[in-house]
Amino acid sequence: MSTWSTNDIPDQTGRTVVITGANSGLGAQAAKALGAAGATVILACRTVSKAEPVAAEIGPNASVAALDLADLSSVRAFAEGIDHLDVLINNAGVMAVPKSRTADGFEMQFGTNHLGHFALTGLLLPKITDRVVTVSSFAHAIGKIDLDDLNYDHRRYERWSAYGQSKLANLMFAFELARKLGRSGSAVSSMCAHPGYASTNLQSHTESFYDRFMKLSNLVAQSAADGALPELYAATSPEAASGAFYGPRGLGGLRGAPTLTKPLPKARNESVAQSLWVASEKLTGVTFDL
């Protein structure tokens, strides 16, 4: 795994992969790599026009479908339009944005990064044959799951702690899904990945002074193509294990080839994960057929 690259992706001919947020950054790079390996790739994006050039570059085995993770009606409409898939990559996300609400009234980062993907996965799960990959971040380290106020209805909003909560929720969801799938005897697996520090346009949409800092620090970040390697490994490698977490191996997990990595212990807290799951089902109205 220490030298794993897109050249090591197994032949994906005959397989269908859905990637959220595949119009740019990590998602676009993952889509291109999977398309080159023969997969049928569905680019699930909020703005279809932004994803169409990526699909055109991939070729006839790529298509674009509208999906706004900040609107549960859009999530349901997208899921209804999918008949079959082998792999779902929950890649899309927003980072450190000003306080705002999704169409359903959720805090934007928790609602988009976690609840949108939670609902999407639950609705698509009966149609998935192989695996679910959820993209988190080393920012889960600054996250705390506040079960009493998940949507910042009462506590003071702080954009980075809200982002950390959403990324910790991604991890806890992926691990809890792996446990539930395992207990049910399902052949589907669930794993998580993070890109380390990769240069993408995600870092330039915080609408704050951080945007300038992020653009400057991108000079030392690895490329989006390299940042996509952990999620590609999780999505394609026969060695990738359900319940595992993959990220870059170098510079403290910031860059390099993918490797098995350890989340902070709080991400493995099963009691909190179960409570988060119940809350997520209640908020989204989506239950999992397990």
Please pick, among 163, 197, 233, 246, the residue that the annotation labels catalytic.
Answer: 163
**228 and 251 Cβ atoms separated by less than 8 Å:** no
- For residue 98, give both structure tokens: 């000003």
7's tokens? 């050249």
- The whole-angstrom separation of Cα 85 and Cα 129 is 7
Is residue 243 within 8 Å of residue 178, measured between CB atoms? yes
**Cα-flanking dihedrals φ and ψ of residue 83, to 5°?**
-90, -35
163 is catalytic: yes
3-state secondary structure string across 151-194 = CCCCCCCCHHHHHHHHHHHHHHHHHHHHHHHHHHCCCCEEEEEC
| Maximum CA extent, the chain | 50
- Distance between CA 35 and CA 42 in Å, rounded? 10
Write out the catalytic residue numbers. 163
